[in-house]
A and B are shown apart, each in its own frame.
Chain A
Amino acid sequence: MIAEHAIAKLSPAQKRRRNITHALIAVAIIVIGIVAKGQFAWVAKFPRKWVVPLKNWITDFFEWIVYGVTFFEGKSYEFVPTDVTRGMIKIFEYQLSFTDGLFFNGFRIGVDPLPWITVVGLMAILGHWVAGWRMAIIAGGSFLYLSLFSVWAPAMDTFSLVLLTVPVVFVIGLFLAIWMSRSRRIENAITPFFDLMQAMPPFAYMVPIVVLFGIGDVPAMLAVAVFAVPPVARCILLGLQTVPHEVIEAGEMAGCTPRQMLWKVKVPTSRSTVLVGLNQGIMQTLAMIVLASLIGASGLGNELLNSLQTLRLGQALEQGLAIVVIAVALDRLSAAYAHKPKQYIDKSLPWVQKHRHLVFAGGFLVASIAMAWFIPSLRVLPKEWPLTTAPMWDAGIDWVLVNWYDNVQGFRNFVLIDLLIPIKKFLLSVPWPTFIGLIILLGYRMGGWKLALTVGLMITFPLLMGLWKQTMITVYMIGSAAVICIVVGFPIGLLAARSERLSRYIILMCDFFQTFPSFIYLIPVIMLFKVSDISAIIAVLAFALVPMVRYTNLGFRNVPFNIREAAIQQGATRWQRLIKVELPLAAPEIMLGINQVIFMALFMVAITALIGTQDLGSEINRARTGNKTGRALVAGLCIAFLGMIADRIIKAWRKQHDYQQSRNT
């Protein structure tokens, strides 16, 4: 706090002096690094025997937990820790078998799953209850799409998993948020863990989950929970913390106990934010569903992986679309529910009238099941009915391959040989003391000693783990992708901010690309660009471009109208206006976008490892196939730290530059 104020208060001359000092220190760090590299072997290459064998310790620890300890040995009730963890799995498996039975498996006692017509109808009724006819059509239509496009069974499998996972995620998120809202201290203690969970690629923590819990739907659910709980909890916490001051005081003056305050005042008052948390939970769960299938989640994700492995791209695309459709339906439903104002219900009305939708849904349930009994095609669509667009997609991809291949190869070689490889070589040749020194200097410049220390520790971690080279390659991939994202995303975002009409399409595209399973990007890219850094970078690009566009758009839109008007009035040209007025005001939002780009790119790095890169992602991937807990977690931590370094520095920069916010408070 004090440091930032100090910087803001510096006079121009003092600022200039500060800049010069920092530049000199930077030059010194670079020169010392280069000289030292020539002098000392340990600078040129970090000695292997200095590496801290943390990954072995972790692996040993997990092995010890799994195989090494037995409680009550020799007694009839002896058990090993995995008995406990796998027993926990059983509890959820039981619930899951129920929803699975209901939606697609049927029950062993000879009860069929719900006919598709019933599910479609019920979703439509739910949509109507939440937000009227439009929502009824969106919800019913989405599920109708699923049934018509031959993905019904896997889609229902995924749906049932989501239906079980989301409440679990939501409840955990809610209680964590409540706990964090108790005191600043608890919040500050938990937030770093959330940062870590969000910055860590899911592959990394999937390994210990598999080791402890095995493979299957429920361990996959756990991985999803690790991924989805932090954003849900954060959202709910925000809601609880922004309950108007006076409402809380009114509660206190009524003599509320802490418990009454929570459940009668805070939670209901922040209802819509809490429900946005629920919405977050749904979206995060669906975003993870394909990855989760790597450790045994059945359903669409699994089918999609299969299609990819057998190179049936059209089908993969269709399955990916089905995930998007479910995501869109559930997103709209939950968002509409979050914003649905509470309606007054006259308590004196008869029960039937108070619960019209419920009665109607019950009626429809019975009627549709009865109908499906007589008309089998309402129960399960006949084989020849379902539509498919897969051949069309396949034909399209073939066409592109045939017609573009040569051009693309030329482009690829140019970019790879003339641009990327030199950058990579350059980064790898930077001596590690120089890189670490510069990061620390940047941290100091942005946020004082505390930040310098934090980022310094985080960037030293990969070095001590012996993963410096992989980390530098990751930095190079992320850096290249981020730069391209900024160069491409900024003008698109600016365009969206300038035109209402365009902005609607652009935002729609953003929504689509964000829910579309990230895996699918890999395929066409590999086909065109073969296995190389450039494929990985392009896959990252397709995924990480979205936040850049979104936040640029947002930033420019938030520039207050009167400021823009004042600039026009002072006779600024369009260009001057953009550079001198709007950009500085939009910059904080745009930096937030870049922050997101970096996180999404790091997330994608782990996935691109599947196509063979040499960075930290591949390190995790190799660990994953061999169940090397330590190796996966350590590499995951390295990636997480890279993300957190960027995050901390960008946040600090924002604090220094957020003119708009400091004016508001």
Chain B
Amino acid sequence: MSAENAGNDVKISCRNVWQLFGKGADRFLAKHDNKPTMGQIVSAGLIGAVRDVSFDVHQNEILMIMGLSGSGKSTMLRCITQLLKPTAGEIIFNGTDITKVSARELNNLRRHKMGMVFQHFGLLPHRTVLENIAFPLEIQGLDGNERIAKARELVELVGLAGRESYFPRELSGGQQQRVGIARSLAVEPDVWFLDEPFSALDPLIRREMQDEFMRLQSKLNKSIVFVTHDFDEAVRLGDRIAIMKDGELVQIGTPEELVTNPADEYVRAFVENAPKAKLVTVGKIMNELGSVDTATEPVLVGAVLEDVAKRVMMSESAIPVSNKEGKLVGSIDREKLVSVLFAV
């Protein structure tokens, strides 16, 4: 799940996506040449839930979408899955613009390529755990025994063995979300969408489910779009993070890029409490090589600050930094480290 092996093949590409709520939104957008300002939108009585958002999701990448409540995260996700038709823009999925495909093709895509987990689980109350998990397979038209066998595997996978015949109302929140996860994986989707899947759970369970999620992902290696409003969660689980504010994409990048180089105050407020020592690598903050004592054993450019902190802090003078090949590329000293970690 690291950024390097995410590769460059783009799975989903969102191009200038707009979602305006209210009457006559398309006409309004066309009138303003697809570039209305927030002020124009508000005075037209519309709600600008998503405004001109573009980004890519790569193969096997976990992209986190995060932002405050009402910033348009869910709406953006629903635009990608076409649960909402964007007012304008393109969603290119495996090379085709799915805003233009027929309802039938879209259904096909959803039946085989997409899986989604919902914040409030969205389970069918009249079906047992097993029947809920088998539901998408039933819709696909798989025959009874086959889908039950498949559903049983998934029950096993999410650790609900023994509860196959429970109804959702008889399960705890965490268990219900496990059902939701199993159901979304039943069709072996290409891309996995999760809308704040753990927000409705209490902190301990949430932690446990995050671990569970990472365990699953290490087995499955899917391309994932994951919505959250919790920066810790975003950092823990994501390869890259897209930060939204009032419907706009403010910044997108790896956790390290956001921490070391926040685009504005809004992003800075988010990253303030992030565990910088675990995120930032030496290379990001090192000084010029300068007049450093080259006899000292160098630290690696790719090491995170946490791993080198002790040595840097104990040393009176700057320590050289080398790349993998052993070539010296810079230096790091106490003042720099302290100023980054404690923002002084």
Contact = CB atoms under 8 A, between A and B. Distances in A.
B118 A268 contact: no
A342 B125 CA distance: 9
18 contacts: A244-B122, A246-B118, A249-B78, A250-B123, A250-B124, A253-B116, A255-B108, A255-B110, A255-B136, A255-B139, A257-B107, A260-B139, A264-B139, A268-B124, A269-B124, A342-B167, A344-B165, A346-B165
B165 A247 contact: no
A257 to B, nearest CB: 7
Given A253-B81, A255-B108, A255-B139, A244 B120 contact: yes
B167 A255 contact: no
B128 interface: yes
A510 interface: no
A341 interface: yes
Interface of B: 78, 81, 83, 107-111, 114-116, 118-128, 135-136, 138-140, 165-167, 169, 183-184, 187, 193
B118 A250 contact: yes
Given A269-B125, A269-B126, A252 B110 contact: yes
A131 B108 CA distance: 43
Interface string A333-349: 00000000110101000
A252 B139 CA distance: 10
Contact of B110 (A244, A254, A260, A271): A254
A246 B139 contact: no
A196 interface: no
B167 A247 contact: no
Nearest to A345: B165
B135 A254 contact: yes
A249 B118 contact: yes
Contacts of A254: 110-111, 135-136, 139, 187
Nearest to A265: B124
B124 A247 contact: yes
Size bracket, chain A contacts: 20 to 34
Contacts of A344: 128, 165-167
A249 B111 contact: no
Contacts of A244: 120, 122
Contacts of B128: 344
Given A244-B120, A246-B118, A344-B165, 19 more contacts: A247-B124, A249-B78, A249-B116, A249-B122, A250-B183, A253-B110, A253-B136, A253-B193, A254-B111, A254-B139, A255-B139, A256-B139, A257-B107, A260-B139, A269-B125, A271-B126, A342-B167, A344-B166, A344-B167
A246 B197 CA distance: 12
A280 B217 CA distance: 50
A258 to B, nearest CB: 9
B12 to A, nearest CB: 15
A575 B146 CA distance: 69
Contacts of A271: 126
Interface in A224-251: 244, 246-247, 249-250
Contacts of A252: 83, 110
Nearest to B119: A246
Interface string A263-279: 01100110100000000
A255 B140 contact: yes
A341 B122 CA distance: 18
Contacts of A268: 124, 126-127
Contacts of B119: 246
Nearest to B126: A268
A89 B118 CA distance: 51
- Would you list the 8 A-B pairs with minimal beta carbon distance, nearest first? A246-B122, A255-B111, A250-B122, A254-B136, A255-B110, A255-B107, A253-B116, A246-B118
